């Protein structure tokens, strides 16, 4: 017996859009099983995970704070994935954006000027863009696998950040702790409301989603992105440059990841630390697919994934559940999204092995 996947003639449009909903429901079922195995009341655990974070204004603001980098990175990754360029190194681009923007903040520390924060944003964008340029160059020039190069560069960026926090960026008056000076007010993201940490970066995320959505659905460049991913041969016949699309998608993705990085450092963190991300760059991969690679869908997917972070923290405190449960939830969700999408596009076919008997005669 052999199991094969056979492409469907025309995937169902309805099932294509229902696929993430089914994946979320199945993830909740697996969550119930996981909580039962951990000896927890599954109903109470799911309430703490997914409902309680929505019951207070402060936690709703925290939800938006966490969703902001996920949305920014997820939008950029959506462009890469739509164009068939697999940028898996957004975590590193996020970190390098934070590093570049922080260099500006620390260089002008104590200086009061309206121009410092915009300069930090520009530096953050450039930092992420340049880090994304490396795998883009190797793919365009040498056809190197971008999954490997972008992923490996992530760990280089993480080690570089750790070095800076413990070395050149470290506060000399910080009692030898591996952290920089607290950013001055002119280098800090303005808050959007009192009683929480929601900052200007949330506006950046929404604006980016709208702009990229318009680009995708109302411009020739957006058409080129979609055709390059869906039908590469047709894109070549139409005169679209494959190498140009590699650079475009990677640089746009890296720019948004870098903007997310400096928005995080200049926002809720407020200084350089050895770790500035709990894995936003990797979680944003789930956000992109859950949002159907649609910038507007990415907003809702980012909010949902942010909910798992806050719910995980609540469960860790109230139920004594390890924080790894959040990673388990996110991993199961990604697996089920990919599985559901596969079954939408392909049908399972079971075939038997045919055996042919041969007979030989004596000569």
Tell the burial category of 59 from Cβ atoms under 10 Å away from its Cβ (0-12, 13-18, 19+). Answer: middle
Whether the per-residue pLDDT at 45 is higher than 60: the answer is: yes
Render 171-222 in DSSP notation, one character per residue: -TTSTT-S--PPPPGGGSPPBSSSSS--BTHHHHHHHHHHHHHHHHHHSHHH
For residue 3, give the DSSP letter.
E
Q: pLDDT (tens digit, 9 = 90+) per residue, 279-304?
A: 999 999 999 999 999 999 999 999 99
The pLDDT assigned to 12 comes to 81
Whether the per-residue pLDDT at 356 is higher than 60: the answer is: no
Whether the per-residue pLDDT at 85 is higher than 50: the answer is: yes
The pLDDT assigned to 354 comes to 53
The pLDDT assigned to 254 comes to 97
Indicate the average pLDDT of the chain: 91
Average pLDDT over residues 170-176: 90
Average pLDDT over residues 117-134: 97
Query: Is 72 within the bounds of a domain?
Result: yes
Q: What residue numbers bound the domain in which 269 lies?
A: 14-348
The pLDDT assigned to 234 comes to 86
Position 363 confidence tier, pLDDT thresholds 50, 70, 90:
very low
Query: Is 362 within the bounds of a domain?
Result: no
Query: Is 7 within the bounds of a domain?
Result: no
Calculate what percentage of the chain has a pLDDT beyond 90: 69
d(CA 121, CA 112) in angstroms, rounded, equals 16
Whether the per-residue pLDDT at 65 is higher than 90: the answer is: yes
Query: Is 3 within the bounds of a domain?
Result: no
Whether the per-residue pLDDT at 165 is higher than 80: the answer is: yes
Query: Is 188 within the bounds of a domain?
Result: yes
The pLDDT assigned to 358 comes to 45
Whether the per-residue pLDDT at 91 is higher than 70: the answer is: yes
Contact 154, 161 (CB under 8 A): no
Position 169 confidence tier, pLDDT thresholds 50, 70, 90:
very high
CATH number, domain containing residue 169? 1.10.3470
For residue 53, give the DSSP letter.
G
Query: Is 363 within the bounds of a domain?
Result: no
Query: Is 182 within the bounds of a domain?
Result: yes
- Cα dihedral value 143, 147, 149, 155, nearest 10: 180
d(CA 146, CA 247) in angstroms, rounded, equals 12
CA 338 to chain centre: 15
Q: pLDDT (tens digit, 9 = 90+) per residue, 200-254?
A: 999 999 999 999 999 999 999 999 999 998 888 888 888 889 999 999 999 999 9
Q: pLDDT (tens digit, 9 = 90+) per residue, 300-349?
A: 999 999 999 999 898 888 988 887 888 888 889 889 998 998 888 888 88
The pLDDT assigned to 362 comes to 46
Whether the per-residue pLDDT at 153 is higher than 50: the answer is: yes
Whether the per-residue pLDDT at 1 is higher than 60: the answer is: yes
Render 308-349 in DSSP notation, one character per residue: HHHHHHHHHHHT---THHHHHHHHHHHHHHHHHHHHHHEEEE
Calculate what percentage of the chain has a pLDDT beyond 70: 97
Which residues contact residue 263 at a Cβ distance below 8 angstroms, ignoring those fewer than 6 apart? Answer: 68, 69, 72, 121, 124, 189, 199, 200, 201, 204
Query: Is 360 within the bounds of a domain?
Result: no
- What's the total number of domains in the chain? 1
Whether the per-residue pLDDT at 255 is higher than 90: the answer is: yes
Q: pLDDT (tens digit, 9 = 90+) per residue, 12-43?
A: 888 888 888 999 999 999 989 999 998 889 99
| DSSP element (H, E) containing 283 | helix 280-290
Whether the per-residue pLDDT at 357 is higher than 50: the answer is: no
The pLDDT assigned to 105 comes to 96
């Amino acid at each position: 017996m052999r199991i094969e996947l056979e492409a469907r003639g025309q995937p169902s449009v309805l099932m294509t859009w229902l696929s993430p909903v089914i994946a979320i429901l199945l993830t909740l079922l697996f969550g119930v099983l996981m909580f039962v195995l951990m000896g927890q009341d599954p109903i109470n655990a799911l309430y703490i995970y997914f409902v309680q974070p929505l019951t207070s204004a402060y936690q709703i603001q925290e939800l938006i704070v966490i969703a902001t980098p996920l949305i920014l990175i997820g939008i950029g990754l959506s462009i890469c994935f739509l164009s068939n360029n697999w940028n898996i190194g957004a975590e590193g681009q996020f970190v390098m954006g934070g590093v570049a923007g922080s260099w500006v903040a620390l260089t002008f520390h104590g200086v009061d000027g309206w121009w410092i924060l915009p300069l930090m944003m520009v530096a953050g964008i450039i930092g992420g863009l340049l880090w994304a340029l490396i795998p883009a160059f190797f793919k365009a020039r040498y056809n190197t696998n971008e999954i490997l190069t972008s992923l490996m560069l992530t760990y280089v960026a993480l080690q570089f950040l750790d070095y800076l926090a413990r070395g050149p960026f470290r506060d000399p008056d910080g009692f030898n702790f591996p952290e920089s000076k607290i950013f001055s007010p002119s280098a800090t993201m303005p808050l959007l409301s009192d009683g929480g940490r929601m900052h200007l970066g949330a506006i950046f995320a929404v604006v980016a989603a709208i702009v990229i959505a318009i680009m995708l659905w109302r411009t020739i460049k957006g058409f080129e992105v979609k055709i390059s991913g869906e039908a590469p041969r047709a894109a070549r016949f139409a005169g679209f440059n494959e190498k140009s699309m590699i650079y475009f998608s990677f640089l746009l993705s890296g720019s948004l990841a870098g903007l997310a990085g400096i928005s995080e450092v200049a926002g809720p963190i407020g200084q350089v630390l050895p770790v500035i991300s709990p894995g936003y760059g990797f979680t944003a991969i789930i956000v992109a697919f859950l949002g159907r690679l649609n910038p507007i869908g990415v907003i809702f997917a980012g909010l949902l994934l942010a909910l798992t972070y806050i719910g995980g923290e609540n469960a860790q405190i109230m139920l004594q559940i390890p924080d790894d449960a959040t990673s388990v939830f996110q991993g199961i969700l990604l697996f089920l999204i990919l599985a559901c999408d596969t079954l939408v596009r392909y049908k399972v076919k079971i075939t038997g092995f045919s055996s042919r008997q041969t007979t030989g005669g004596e000569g």
